Amino acid sequence: MRIRVTMRGDLFEKRKQQHIERGYRIEDEQSMPVNGLCSFTAVSEIPESDAVGDLVARELSGMAR
């Protein structure tokens, strides 16, 4: 799964660190503010065995990772 994260320039390092701590890999960093905003792409690898339905079922049953 890939998500684009955009934030104010002063929050860039904090948000990046939060995503790294949650297990995301960071790509395509734009650390220089453009119109006051910075961004990066956070990438999480979901194994093929974890279909969306399985993830939802685990979350609902309280067995989320």
pTM, entire model: 0.66
User: Would you state the pLDDT for residue 1?
Assistant: 85
User: Would you state the pLDDT for residue 59?
Assistant: 77
Per-residue tens of pLDDT for the chain, all 65 residues: 899 999 999 999 999 999 999 999 999 999 999 999 999 999 987 665 556 777 777 778 775 44
| C-alpha to C-alpha distance for 27 and 3, rounded to whole angstroms | 10
User: Would you state the pLDDT for residue 48?
Assistant: 57
Q: Which residues have a Cβ under 8 Å from the Cβ of 61 and sit 6 or more positions away?
A: none
User: Would you state the pLDDT for residue 61?
Assistant: 77
Pair 42, 3: CB distance under 8 Å: yes
Burial of 9 per CB tally in 10 Å (0-12, 13-18, 19+): middle
